[in-house]
Amino acid sequence: MSWAVLSMIILGFALLSFFWRFEKRDVSPKEIALISTMASMAAISRVLFAAIMNVQPTTFVVMITGYVFGPHTGFVVGAIAALVSNFFLGQGPWTPWQMFSWGMCGVSAGLLAGIQKGFKPGRFTVLAGLWGYVFGWIMNIWHWTAFVYPLNWKTFVATYAASFPFDTLHAAGNVVFALIFGQSFYYTLSRFRKKISVKYIDDLS
């Protein structure tokens, strides 16, 4: 079994695990509608910005969704956005890797929100910029195992060095979108989250 096939199997189990955990949750119709809307927005924004190399709002949209609605929702929005946008940009063995990478963008943003109170634009922007590189590093694993021969330290370093300019563009785009739209998206989505929240009050009368 090749390293490319083995890595795909491991990735497949990771994706199934996240979707299975989401499936076990009690998800309301309003939350499903929200996920569909945000995933569509993230996918469309990627298609519209496809002509600009590695600069697109998809990562930002996925991360702000995860920040407001939590890691599970963030992961699902990111994974679906990758899958849907590739119907326009091209499906292939890279699709599961993109689904996982964008899904983890949403997870990390949700985890960041869990350890701080309110929206901290600076921290969110730093994380968004960091994911410009981390996203590329994850995708490089697929490229290295699938297309590079031989698999050794030199080819590994060369693969990552070649992607650095593109990862930098991705990171810069994430920072710009986070700085411009971060706060407004956060307050808008937070208001919507309050509207879809359901509170159960015991009737003691």
Amino acid 99: pLDDT: 93
Amino acid 197: pLDDT: 65
Residue ranges in the chain modelled with pLDDT below 70? 1-4, 197-205
Amino acid 201: pLDDT: 45
Amino acid 184: pLDDT: 94
Please give the single-letter amino acid code of residue 117: K
Amino acid 1: pLDDT: 55
Please give the single-letter amino acid code of residue 107: V
Work out the angle between the directed axes of helices 29-48 and 58-69 (0-180°, nearest 10).
Answer: 160
Residues in the chain: 205
d(CA 17, CA 100): 11
Multiple choice CATH, 3-193, 1.10.287.1080, 3.40.1190.20, 1.10.1760.20, 3.40.190.10: 1.10.1760.20
Amino acid 23: pLDDT: 72
